[in-house]
Amino acid sequence: MKIDQPKISNELTTKNFQDIFYEEDPHLSYCLVSESSFDSEDMDRVHLNNMMIKNSTFQNTVFTNINITDVHFENCDFSNADLTGASIHRATFKNCKLLGVKFVESSFGNVSFKDSVLTLCEFGHSKLKQVIFESSLLKNADFYDCKLTKIKYEQCNIDGASFDRTPLKGIDISRSEFETLTVSTEELKGCIVSTHQAMMFATLLGLVIKE
């Protein structure tokens, strides 16, 4: 599955994320941010576009209703940040720590998470379209009442993830690993699974498999 990559200019001005305090609106664009610390801050309706953010931390920061478009994040730490109501489009997260991040009631389009930690992330009531999770940890992630369209979980650990009230028709989890999932039989219809996973689900349904 192909997704649209961030459209980022080749000419970026170097800035510190703290520079956002000096903008008329909480908006940063056409810049490279590196080695910035923006922990435990609280800002509503931040706009980030056409930029790269590397080796920076946003732990426990509240970014409600943030808008992220055409942004590449690399080696960033968002642990326990609150991004409720986020709009994230054409964005990449590489080797990022997003432990316990709140993505509740958010919208994702053409987004990739690679080599990242999304354990305990909350995606409840969100819409995700053309999103790839690759080689990432999603243990105990919560996808409650989400709308998933063209989503791929590639070599991820999704153990303990919850898909309660989230239909998985057409969603491919065959190349990811888990021991338990929270999902109903109805929501599981049409989900793409491996032979081993199919046997696991069959056992949970009480079927006796005879070879």
Give me the percent of the chain exceeding a pLDDT of 90. Answer: 88
CA 211 to CA 159: how far, in whole Å?
Answer: 27
pLDDT (tens digit, 9 = 90+) per residue, 155-197? Answer: 999 999 999 999 999 999 999 999 999 998 899 999 999 998 9
Overall domain count for the chain: 1
Dihedral over Cα of 129, 132, 137, 139: its sign: positive
Residue 209 lies in a domain: no
According to the model, what pLDDT value does residue 23 have?
86
CATH code of the domain covering residue 183: 2.160.20.80
Residue showing tokens 């999304």: 118
What global pTM score does this model have?
0.94
For residues 193-210, give the mean pLDDT. Answer: 79
Q: Under a CB-based contact definition with an 8 Å cutoff, are residues 8 and 31 in contact?
A: no
Residue 180 lies in a domain: yes
Give the residue from 134, 175, 180, 178 showing the smallest Cα distance to 158: 178
pLDDT (tens digit, 9 = 90+) per residue, 49-107? Answer: 999 999 999 999 999 999 999 999 999 999 999 999 999 999 999 999 999 999 999 99
Residue 15 lies in a domain: no
Give the residue from 116, 88, 87, 119 showing the smallest Cα distance to 101: 119
Calculate the average pLDDT of the chain: 95
For residue 94, the enclosing domain spans 26-204
Q: H or E element: which one contains 199? A: helix 195-204
Residue 8 lies in a domain: no
